[in-house]
Amino acid sequence: MGLSLPVPVATIGLLLASNVFMTIAWYGHLKFKTAPLVTVIFISWGIAFFEYLMQVPANRIGHGYYSAAQLKTIQEVISLSVFAIFSWIYLGEKLGWQHGIGFSLICLGAWFIFHDFG
């Protein structure tokens, strides 16, 4: 007897988890600028492996329920959300009003992707 989650829950959950790994792989090394570049590249590849273990199934599960464009849009909104939190908490970077406006415009674009006007 397996656990069966609704497609949106499974898809978005996997995309959220994969984006946490992706953000760590791509930006986590910025606190370790004295580490050799080749070292951080290999560590990032190792972390990114786990991102792919979630990203690929998320797209497989979600495609058909969502279009490919919708899946990419969900991934991008999640990616920006995870990155904003990561850069604020982990990197200590301030997020300003311009980030809020930019993110709002991206969300507006996402809204258009999910509505059929024709």
Phi, psi of 5 (to 5 degrees): -90, 150
Here the tokens at position 65 are: 């329920």
Task: Indicate if the pLDDT at residue 94 is higher than 90.
Answer: yes
Provide the CA 56 distance to its chain's centre, in angstroms.
Answer: 13
Q: What band does 117 get if pLDDT is binned at 50, 70 and 90?
A: confident
Q: What band does 116 get if pLDDT is binned at 50, 70 and 90?
A: confident
Q: What band does 2 get if pLDDT is binned at 50, 70 and 90?
A: low
Q: pLDDT of 3-50, one tens digit each?
A: 689 999 999 999 999 999 999 999 999 999 999 999 999 999 999 999
Classify residue 35 by its DSSP letter: S
Q: pLDDT of 46-91, one tens digit each?
A: 999 999 999 999 999 999 999 999 999 999 999 999 999 999 999 9
Provide the residue ranges of all domains of the chain, joining segments of one domain with +: 7-113
CB contact burial 83-102 (16+ within 10 A = b; e otherwise): bbebbeeeeeeeeeeeeeee
